[in-house]
Amino acid sequence: MTYSIKKIARAAAIAAVLLSGPALAGSGKVVVELFTSQGCSSCPPADQLLGELAARDDVIALSFHVDYWNYLGWDDPFSSVASTNRQREYRAAFGLRYIYTPQIVVGGAAQEVGSHRGKVLRAIERVRATRQVKVDISHPDKKTAIVSIGAGETPSGPAKVWLFAYDKSHTTDIGRGENSGVKMVNTHVVRETREIGEWNGKDIKISLPIAMMGIEKQDGCAIVVQSKNGGQIYGAAVFPLMGPGL
């Protein structure tokens, strides 16, 4: 694969920022995922709730924009097949008959209608009580990031290690569809989804060449250790990247 001079220069700039501070320790934060769409009239209240959760120090909030609402006259510019496929895995894991928006999944272990604030907040507190595996991110040089995952139990067998790159915020004037005329604000919008490794309960380290991460112009990145096929999240951490809004 060939990388442009622009991408390599950007990777070097990202590395410089990451190296400017100490390694980020595993936070023990609760991962909250919102499945949403700019074409869904029921989604704005859930988008607002996720924005509030993103401001909390004890939550990793991620917004996944699905693509199955695009036929109603507005193509969500942040929608992706990857986001829809991730939600389909949760449908199977939770035994739901269908996928829907807005849906919030908490810690991979609980799901609620995304606009049901009280139920979502209570689910966060329940998941917070569970033990999490430590996830650390360090940067030994300007070219490499190291993800360290501690030892722990894996009741469902080997787990996947995901990387989600996200934009801090987007404000969009919706021109057509169910939300026509609405100015929508979406927070922590996931733009890139990558599986970067597997965790089998033992201490492991995953080396990521920063110049080859495939991430461009995102504001942040979340590392999530999760049972296969959508299920319990064992641990997670975030680190900042250079991008708009920082």
β-strands 183-199, 159-173: how paired? antiparallel
Nearest CA among 96, 128, 104 for reference residue 47: 104
pLDDT at residue 179, rounded to an integer: 93
Q: What is the pLDDT of residues 163-177, one digit of tens each?
A: 999 999 999 999 999
The domain 5-240 having CATH identifier 3.30.70.20: the answer here is: no
Tokens of 187: 């927070």
Looking only at the bridges linking them, the beta strands covering 144-149 and 204-209 are antiparallel
Summarize pLDDT for 30-79 with one digit per residue, the tens: 999 999 999 999 999 999 999 999 999 999 999 999 999 999 889 999 99
The residues that bridge with 146 in the sheet, in sequence order, are 138, 207
**Measured CA angle at 160 (ends 27, 59), to 5 deg:** 25
HSE-up (13 A, CA, CB side) for residue 179: 22
Q: Mind listing the pLDDT tens digit for each residue in 69-126?
A: 999 889 999 999 999 999 999 999 999 999 999 999 999 999 999 999 999 999 999 9
Please say if the pLDDT value at position 218 is more than 60: yes
Average pLDDT (142-150) is 88
The pLDDT assigned to 213 comes to: 55
| Cis check: omega of the bond before 102, within 30 degrees of 0 | yes
Give me the helices (H) in 95-207, please. Answer: 117-128
Residue 239 has pLDDT above 90, yes or no: no
At 209 the pLDDT is 78
Q: Give me the residue spans of the domains in the chain.
A: 5-240
Contact 149, 159 (CB under 8 A): no
